[in-house]
Amino acid sequence: MERRLAAIVCADVAGYSRMMGTDEAGTHATFKAHRAAIYPIILNHGGRLVKNTGDGFLLEFPSIVGAIEAAIAMQMLMAERNHHLPADRMMQFRMGIHMGDVMADEDEVFGDDVNIAVRLESVAAPGGIAVSGKAYGEAGKRLSVPLVDAGPHRFKNIEEPVSVWTWEAAGAEARNRETKDPANLPAQYRTAIVGVLPFANLSESADEYFSDGLTEDLIHALSLQSFYRVLSRNSTFSFKGKNVSTRIIAREIDASYLIQGSVRRAGGKIRVTADLIAPENGEQLWTGRYDRDIGDLFAMQDEITTSLSAAIAAEIYRAEASAPPRPSSDLTAWDRFLKGLSYYYLQTKADFETSIGLFKEAIALDPTLSIARAYLATLMVQGVQFGWIKSTGEFWTTAMGLAESSVRLDPRSSFAFQILSYLHAAEGHYEAAMDAANRAVGLNPYDMGARGVLGMNHLVTGDHRQAIELFSMAAQRGNSDPRYQWAALNAFSHYLLGQYDASLSWAREQLYLNPNHLQALAIRAAALAQLGRAEEATNATDVLISNYPSFTVERHLRNMYWKVPADLAHYRDGLEKAGIPSTKLTLVESSPKLAVDS
């Protein structure tokens, strides 16, 4: 028998005996299915299953941080799996976590510290975790989510009181209320509800599996967004093959938007069409068609799913932003956020400023509104890039604070991790930036914003070919969302590989979207200079300086936290060849020029 330091997680199902009394076989099958779903999370965090306990299980981890993060991830997954179930069918785990010296005999573990984990499980809320003070103190600031101090507790057969820290999934109470009575939800949680109807198979019946599989993949991909709710497969597949109007379907399943489509296969090719519909008035908000060679069937299905989810998600954002507002006397934080979103999509300086003001109002009304914080941080960064906001140290501190709090408030939001990663990368925090980017991709592999931010990380660390691949993928599949404007960054990566023509093309693309984009104006001048097009480079420099009179090479580069010194030297060389002043220059009044003038 050996002794070792370990982190122990003990879990059981709240109300398991009651559920077994109602439906023994069904409850046992459901428990096994949930346990199988969370098992990869245990392995991904370095844990092992010590034993099953009938209505629960005991886990061992080498790291207390890994144990707590795994428990939180498991509870988040369980919350998603329970999301659309009636209250009497929801299965919620309670988890207790402790660390200490354990005795190991073959595959079993014993000792007082195991007993403490078992006792802690009893004080955890259904769907939540309870962590001992000892374990919490060791994990400390390395946790990605905050825990709440629940004070000291006394447990049977444990001599000393145990301090307890707890965590519950954000919005768990709201989700429980929703299951019972959706109409009683607070207004700020009444977000859009999306139903994906089974895609019609227009080919032979043998191809039915593909249309059904594509529908299920799309439901999964869209459900990874935190902006709206997606109904489960069971909610929509009951309408398969039935001639029922979308308006009636939407009312039966309480959907704000419906997605319907078809799949047609001919030889080695396949065509997928999809429509996004506002069912109450029958308006077709978006339609798309995808023609592909079958080739690797699964790879092709995944590629179509990614393209569909990226396009549809952006259109739902737009539709929600343009929805008629409530009367001004009844504006909630969510209403102000949506109103701010509507101004943001107009993409002018005045509308940008209005949008920022509305997002700030939304946060003041509801400081827990994570998405408003993520958007406000995004707008601040874009405002600097567009030349509409002055970049200062205080500005970046504020933006970083918004991104960090957004992640803290909604640790399942890929978008929140994206803006956090972007800001870390922009400030040269390479490891933190890459970690946040990988979290963003992990939370939603179908979100092109996450792929683009991952590209930003490769740009600042010098892996430009990988950056170009990711930027290009993001631009190709998610180009209708104004949050993601990858053209300027793609221009930098091409430039740093010496691909100046491609860099110039991407810079022009960005300037077409926004003629005052500072980075695009600068990289365009540098690329032209490196191509030996001296006159055009001079004209490009004139446009840059007329829009940003205080712009100098030194001032610009001191905000570039690139890891590879040769990249900075390469960029400096192009800027100086373009005739951009190295240091502060004497200002001469001139009227601003537009990028299209040169």
Whether 591 maps to a domain, the answer reads no
Which is more confident, 377 or 589? 377
Would you state the pLDDT for residue 226?
A: 66
Tens-digit pLDDT profile for residues 147-203: 888 888 877 777 788 899 999 876 444 333 333 333 232 333 346 788 889 998 888
Q: What is the 3-state secondary structure (H, E, C) of 363-416?
A: HHHCCCCHHHHHHHHHHHHHHHHCCCCCCCHHHHHHHHHHHHHHHHHCCCCHHH
Instruction: Say if CB 470 and CB 452 are below 8 A apart.
Output: yes
Whether 72 maps to a domain, the answer reads yes
Whether 34 maps to a domain, the answer reads yes
Rounded Cα distance between 64 and 53, Å, is 22
Judgement on whether residues 8 and 150 belong to the same structural domain of the protein: yes
Token pair 């965090």: residue: 45
Indicate the residue among 321, 352, 372 that finishes a domain.
Answer: 321
Would you state the pLDDT for residue 394?
A: 85
Report the relative pairing of strands 200-201 and 148-153 from DSSP bridges. unpaired
Indicate the residue among 321, 337, 357 that finishes a domain.
Answer: 321
Judgement on whether residues 303 and 200 belong to the same structural domain of the protein: yes
Indicate the residue among 302, 321, 340 that finishes a domain.
Answer: 321
Tens-digit pLDDT profile for residues 191-249: 678 888 999 888 887 778 788 888 888 887 887 776 777 887 777 887 888 888 888 88
Tens-digit pLDDT profile for residues 413-439: 888 999 999 999 989 999 999 999 999
Judgement on whether residues 169 and 213 belong to the same structural domain of the protein: no
Tens-digit pLDDT profile for residues 357-388: 999 998 998 888 888 999 999 999 888 888 78
Rounded Cα distance between 98 and 47, Å, is 14
The residues with which 272 forms a beta bridge, in sequence order, are 263, 290
Tokens encoding 228: 């709206």
Would you state the pLDDT for residue 337?
A: 86
Judgement on whether residues 65 and 214 belong to the same structural domain of the protein: no
Q: Average pLDDT in the 386-394 region?
A: 81
Would you state the pLDDT for residue 184?
A: 30
Q: What is the mean pLDDT of the chain?
A: 82
Rounded Cα distance between 233 and 227, Å, is 19
Which is more confident, 319 or 495? 495
Whether 234 maps to a domain, the answer reads yes
Q: Cα-atom radius of gyration of the chain, to the nearest Å? A: 27
Judgement on whether residues 134 and 252 belong to the same structural domain of the protein: no
- What does the DSSP 8-state code read for residue 352? H
Would you state the pLDDT for residue 188?
A: 38
Judgement on whether residues 146 and 218 belong to the same structural domain of the protein: no
Judgement on whether residues 7 and 132 belong to the same structural domain of the protein: yes
Instruction: Say if CB 116 and CB 162 are below 8 A apart.
Output: yes
Instruction: Say if CB 527 and CB 491 are below 8 A apart.
Output: yes
pLDDT(327) > 50: no
CATH number assigned to the domain comprising residue 17: 3.30.70.1230
CATH number assigned to the domain comprising residue 233: 3.40.50.10610
Rounded Cα distance between 349 and 342, Å, is 14
pTM for the whole structure:
0.58
Number of separate domains in the chain: 2
State percent of the chain over pLDDT 70.
89
pLDDT(355) > 70: yes
Task: List Cβ neighbours of 377 (8 Å cut-off, separation of 6 or more).
Answer: 399, 400, 402, 403, 406, 419, 423
Whether 480 maps to a domain, the answer reads no
Q: How many CA atoms lie within 13 A of 369 on its CB side?
A: 26
Rounded Cα distance between 337 and 367, Å, is 12
Judgement on whether residues 271 and 123 belong to the same structural domain of the protein: no
Judgement on whether residues 66 and 115 belong to the same structural domain of the protein: yes
Whether 388 maps to a domain, the answer reads no
Tens-digit pLDDT profile for residues 66-118: 899 999 999 998 888 787 666 767 889 999 999 998 888 877 888 888 999 98
The domain of 241 spans 189-321
Judgement on whether residues 75 and 130 belong to the same structural domain of the protein: yes
Judgement on whether residues 99 and 234 belong to the same structural domain of the protein: no
Judgement on whether residues 171 and 38 belong to the same structural domain of the protein: yes
Whether 127 maps to a domain, the answer reads yes
pLDDT(573) > 60: yes
Of 315-329, 339-353, 462-476, least confident by mean pLDDT is 315-329
Whether 403 maps to a domain, the answer reads no
Residue 41 dihedral angles phi and psi, to the nearest 5° = -65, -40
Of 39-43, 398-402, 540-544, least confident by mean pLDDT is 39-43
